[in-house]
Amino acid sequence: MRNYDLEFLKHFSMVIGFLVLVTLGLIVGAHFLHGSIPPEANPNAVKQTEARIAPAGAVYAGETGAAAQAAAQAAAAAAAASQVAYGGSTDGQVIFDSLCGACHKNGTGGAPTLTAAGMGARAAKGKDTLYKHAIEGFTGPDGGIMPPKGGNPALTEEQIHATVDWMLDHAK
């Protein structure tokens, strides 16, 4: 074997040894990095987090935005209509005690109380007017405010009619 062959083998062995050390260093580094990366999150937890930080509303602009806004309002109305209040009960007293009584028992917000004086003038306008005001909402000349469907959009017209009838029958 010649001298330059021995030199080549010596240098080649040193290069191979250096590459083995670099490879081992990369393996140890990869193992360390793999241990420091947090584990993958639970998909359910990710969905809950995304729902929690989702925007509360949207901005609608132009014709496209108006159409999107109308579709969103229609979807909200359909969702509200699908949720019937008080289990669909048409017992006027149940609905009055649960919802209407908050204002009509003590006259909050200018609401008429269940007395002859409070309900008398309104009853004279006719049941159809009272039904309309209860369904659509009403702002009286004295500043009294009746929100649409008493503030519960899940009420059906049948439930409102039953409650208004119950109120008129029980005015003292």
Give tens-digit pLDDT for 19-52.
999 999 999 999 998 888 777 778 888 889 888 9
Residue 128 lies in a domain: yes
The secondary structure of the chain, three-state, reads CCHHHHHHHHHHHHHHHHHHHHHHHHHHHHHHHHHHCCCCCCHHHHHHHHHHHCCCCCCCCHHHHHHHHHHHHHHHHHHHHHCCHHHHCCCHHHHHHHHHHHHHCCCHHHCCCCCHHHHHHHHCCCHHHHHHHHHHCEECCCCCEECHHHHCCCCCHHHHHHHHHHHHHCCC
pTM of the model: 0.52
Residue 14 lies in a domain: yes
Lowest mean pLDDT among 17-26, 73-82, 91-100, 107-116: 73-82
Residue 107 lies in a domain: yes
Residue 21 lies in a domain: yes
Q: Quote the domain boundaries for residue 13.
A: 1-36
